[in-house]
Structure 1
Amino acid sequence: MSTLTPPSDLRHRDSGADRRMWWGLAVLTLPVLLVSMDFSVLYLAIPAITDALTPTASEQLWILDIYGFLIAGLLITMGNVGDRVGRRRILLAGATLFGVASVIAAFAPNAAILIAARALMGVGGATLMPSSLSLIANMFPNARDRAKAIGVWTAAFAGGSAIGPVIGGVLLHHFWWGSVFLINVPVLAVLFIAGPRLVPEYRAPDAARFDVVGVVLSMMGILPLVYAVKTMASDGLTVGVAGIGVFGVVLLALFLAHQCRATAPLLDLALFRNPQFSAAVSVALVGMMALGGMSYLTGVYLQSVRGFDVLSAALAGLPMAVAVAVFSIGASRVVAAMGLRSAFVGSVLLAAVGNLGLLALTMSSPLWVYLVFTSIAGIGYGIQFSVVSDVVVGSVPVERSGAASGISETSFELGTAMGLALLGSLATLVFRENSQGWTFEDTLGDTLHRAGEMGSGGDELVSAARVAFVDGMHAASLAAVIALGILAVVLTFVMRKRPADGVRHEDTTRA
């Protein structure tokens, strides 16, 4: 039985959402903010965790990565589960798991317990993202209201990722490392109190059998592939890692073949016949690849090349975060003024210009160069990611929006992993090739550490390593510009028509 919003709550839907729905949206941004913040909050906390728990190098990698692995592997599955058992129900269940796991992580006595807690946080996080986005489709069927709401949702996600290191730095300055996890608890308490009052329940009326085989194949395909991509980014390509990646690709191929035959598939391949849906997923993939590579490389540049401390480097990233947040919320106005295709293409080109500006960064360039061009890129990313979510959610019937949002968010996660792997690997390759006769370590940080042990004799090594890293960053930035430029050309030809209501093709007023 479908548990749709009662008619009394629909009284303003034809002319726009009422105040209660906007308060409900504010509640839905809370878990999204936490999920994205917990991706980046450990960037500052990991040294303190290393001192307290003494993890091995492998354990440290898993502390950082297991959270993202499980989110990427479970997004599609949890989107479908929410469609079937109830989106608000799965949202609150996921929040419960996320909160409990956060407390366990905060007081973990050893690395193994912390890894397990981070894994549970990943499972919980995978339920929070698609359920919150798909509930927006149910709460805001009016195209204009929905676009604004998704802009707010996107801004919360981008903002959480940006402020994670800043919040982490402030907490670590005053408290122990576990405080970066405990901050989740009061925020989730607000969700538990306000969620049942302000967020309507919805589940799809479709009672078709759940695709258990599809769940297994998708996880066995996505998890090894994401692991291989991330490992290549940090350790380079090896036979074992390549084998894991190939295994993931094969399982994903089997998953797609199974989806073609399944009566109630997890992944509706027919969605990709819609050129706007396919274009949106491509933008999510390529856009996050460029953003992930930019964030990683410029973070190293600010700290290891220019000498900023970690908190100062995080603060330097705030202008871009503000740009992303502001233009995520304003993306609907940009689309209304320019049209969907022009907004998409223009936002991708802005991101390309921002990445192109990184070529102006040198060993001594003023900080404003970094701030200006990353902010330009932030404007582009804010528009495109908001429009991606709107197009994806609006391209499907409301009862399938959870599954569709799982596809887009999986593309975001895979895009980030690809950015770290492909662009990070390219930067590392150039870094090593431009060694000027010196023998570099695997990373700039390790090379600088070895130079420090050499005393005054390591000054030339420091200078050569920093120049080589900037060369690698330039090469990666140029590659991102080329990828974004190609994407802009493809979008120009693919997205020739805009649906009458902005995005959704069918009547979304459901009672």
Structure 2
Amino acid sequence: MTKTPRRRKGGAPSDLRAWLGLLIVLGPVLLVSMDGSILFLAMPRVSQALAPSADQALWILDVYGFAVGSLLIAFGNLGDRYGRLRLLLVGATVFGLGSVGAALAPTPELLIAARALMGAAGATLLPSALAVLSELFPEPRRRARAIGIFAAAFAAGFAIGPVVGGVLLERFWWGSVFLVNLPVIALFLVFAPILLGEVRATRPGRVDVLSVATSAAGLLLAIYGLKHLAAEGTSPASLAALVLGLALVAWFAARQRTLDDPLIDFSLFRDRVFTIAIITGLLPLAAWSAIAYLAGMYLQSVLGLDVLRAALLALPGAAVLTLTSIVTPAVVDRVGKRAVLVTAHVAIAVGLLLLLATTVGGGTVWYVLSAAIAGIGYGISFSVVADTAVGAVPPERAGSAGAIAETSNEIGNALGIALLGSLAALVFRLQGPGLAPTLDETLHLPELAGAAALEARTAFVGGLHLVAVVASALHVVLGAAALRWLPRPRPRDLREVPDGVLGSTAEGEVDDHGAGV
């Protein structure tokens, strides 16, 4: 649980130092979100170079998100105890080392391990960066603006990750998508000690190591079982992993109710508004990550586009997503969160359904339209989820609510590839030619018959369509729930800007200007 930070002696930092400090903090934040998506267009190249199996390919993509999501709250508590700046510096260093390891990995197993290390390091950066912002911007209005910029950078990182990856792959080998992190990390390590002050909580909570271990192990085992069931069919090992993983997750949830400082305060989910906000943090990112990955494969392996053209086709959607995340707080001031969240789910559902027009023979126009329309919804959800979650709970529980909201983003990113990606893999296994477990492996088989290649491409497109329909249906259901359960906006004669890291007003209500990730 996030505690109230204690500011550095010497009063508020100067304007120049504060804004330079924000600029230097945004570098690692951008990298953490960007690395959650930068491999989407790079996976065909990675598959050609390292020949991962179907489940290894999915692990390469989503072990990063699982590591970030499962450790985010735990590292937030460690930062409270030992210092946010110190944790930022350690995390940035490990993130850089993991990036080098990933770039030079000679096998799928080592690439997965390096990605997991990067994810663990990334989990140190997000909560600590937010806490450091409160030291840089003690004045509430300036802090609200800074957090809005922080949220926009986080959303932009997810959006531009595939584009950056595609541009790099046009000129360099696949490992370059990781080495691009190093200049940003180097600049941060040089200037952070100069521009940023240390922040600690006055009463840091205890970190329950057993909870950290069981949550991470439970998630990984459950997803491992699901992946193997989808890609290879039923087996005793995959069923045992799934059952054991679900049991560990259930035990973790039960244990949190007995702790004074739980990693996740599950009692908050009794509030319907809070629950809708957290699911809204998870589901749109799950849909976005799965579709971005599958669309990257579709553009390159089905339609045969080069990686640069695929990256350029992703630009409109990335631009819409980023712009929407920036303007959403101002729109919320006019129409309220209920209206914008319902709009988000409708836009995503409609955008996803447009992918049904894609075929083996073409569909780039439909892909661009889909990404642009759904990008409106993604941008809204990225911008207002944390603020909505915090506004649903009492002020003294705002820190815990904000931490859960951040975690839902990262877990959603990983679950989208794990669950929806596994659904696509299942369709390919059932409808494909049965010569290899993935599309790329099938297409690179020697002396592959034209009919078999067409069958493989058709099966992949069928998996993409099913994922789009399932994700769209889930957003329709969540949009209906938001329409029914979120409160209608109330007129306010006086608006106050939030006074906490995520914000609460003098009356104990979260102001609509707050922003989160």
Shorter-chain TM-score: what band?
0.7 to 0.9
Task: Identify the residue that residue 513 of structure 2 maps to in structure 1.
Answer: none
Which residue matches 1:225? 222
Structure 1 residue 399: Cα displacement: 8.7
What is the aligned residue count?
Answer: 497
For residues 390-401 of structure 1, what are the structure 2 equivalents within 5 Å?
390-392=387-389
For 1:479, the aligned partner's letter is V
CA shift for structure 1 position 117: 3.7
Cα deviation digits, residues 139-190 of structure 1 (max 9, x gap): 5677776665444334333433343344344445545554433322221122
1:453 and 2:442 correspond: no
Q: Distance in 2 between matches of 1:345 and 1:422?
A: 24
1:213 deviates by 3.1
Contact 1:355 1:480 in 2 (8 A): yes
Of 432, 437, 442, the residue aligned with 2:437 is 442
| In 1: Cα distance, 2:223 partner to 2:55 partner | 16
Deviates more, 1:173-182 or 1:41-50: 41-50
The equivalent position to 2:477 in structure 1, one of 486, 501, 510, is 486
Query: Residues 230 and 200 (structure 1 numbering): CA distance in 2 closer, same or farther, change over 3 Å?
Result: farther
The one-character-per-residue Cα deviations of 1:409-448 (angstroms, maximum 9, x if unpaired) are 332233234333443344444456556xx65643333443
Match of 2:405 among 405, 408, 420: 408
Q: Is the 8 A contact 1:79 1:127 kept in 2?
A: yes
Coordinate RMSD, CA, aligned: 3.6
Q: How far off its partner does 1:350 sit?
A: 0.9
For 1:222 and 1:116, the matched residues in 2 are separated by 16
Cα distance in 2, alignment partners of residues 243 and 478 from structure 1: 30
SS of equivalent residue, structure 2 residue 200: coil
**Among 255, 270, 295, the residue aligned to 1:298:** 295
Aligned to 1:261: 258
Deviation at 1:493, TM superposition (A): 2.0
After superposition, what is the alpha-carbon deviation per residue over 1:463-485, rounded to whole angstroms, capped at 9, x for unaligned?
A: 34433433332222121111000
The corresponding residue for 1:203 is 200
Alignment of 1:266-285 (within 5 A): 266-285=263-282
Question: In the alignment, does 2:9 pair up with 1:9?
Answer: no
Amino acid at match of 1:469: F
Alignment-mate amino acid for residue 412 of structure 1: N
Alignment of 1:39-438 (within 5 A): 39-43=36-40, 64-107=61-104, 114-136=111-133, 148-175=145-172, 177-232=174-229, 234-235=231-232, 238-365=235-362, 367-392=364-389, 404-431=401-428
Mapped to 2, the partners of 1:233 and 1:140 lie a distance apart of: 48
The 3 A distance-change label for structure 1 pair 420 and 65 is closer
Question: CA offset at residue 47 of structure 1?
Answer: 6.7
Secondary structure of the corresponding residue to residue 12 of structure 2:
helix
Tell me the distance in 1 between the aligned counterparts of 2:177 and 2:90: 22
Structure 1 gap segments, 5+ residues each: 12-17
* Partner deviation per Cα, 1:213-257 (whole Å, 9 max, x = no partner): 333332332332344445555545543223222222222222222
CA gap 1:494/1:329 in 2 versus in 1, 3 angstroms: same
When normalised by structure 1's length, the TM-score is 0.83
Amino acid at match of 1:377: A
- Counterpart CA distance in 1 for 2:144 and 2:246 is 34
Among all aligned residue pairs of Structure 1 and Structure 2, give the percentage whose two residues are the same amino acid. Answer: 46
Partner residue of 2:467 out of 467, 476, 500:
476
The structure that is helix-richer by fraction is: 1
What amino acid does structure 2 have at the position aligned with 1:466? R
8 Å contact from structure 2 (residues 44, 301) kept in 1: no
Change (3 A) 1:199 1:336: farther
**Contact 2:328–2:383 (8 Å) recurs in 1:** yes
Change (3 A) 1:117 1:472: closer
Which amino acid is 1:4 matched to?
R
Does the residue aligned with 1:267 lie in a helix, a strand or coil?
Answer: coil
Q: Shift in Å at residue 77 of structure 1?
A: 1.1
Letter of the 1:99 counterpart: G
Does the Cα contact within 8 Å between 2:264 and 2:400 map onto a contact in 1?
yes
Write the letter of the residue equivalent to 2:129. Answer: S
Q: Distance in 2 between matches of 1:245 and 1:78?
A: 27
Q: Distance in 1 between matches of 2:418 and 2:51?
A: 27
- CA contact under 8 A between 1:3 and 1:203: conserved in structure 2? yes
How far residue 496 of structure 1 moved from its aligned partner, in angstroms, is: 0.6
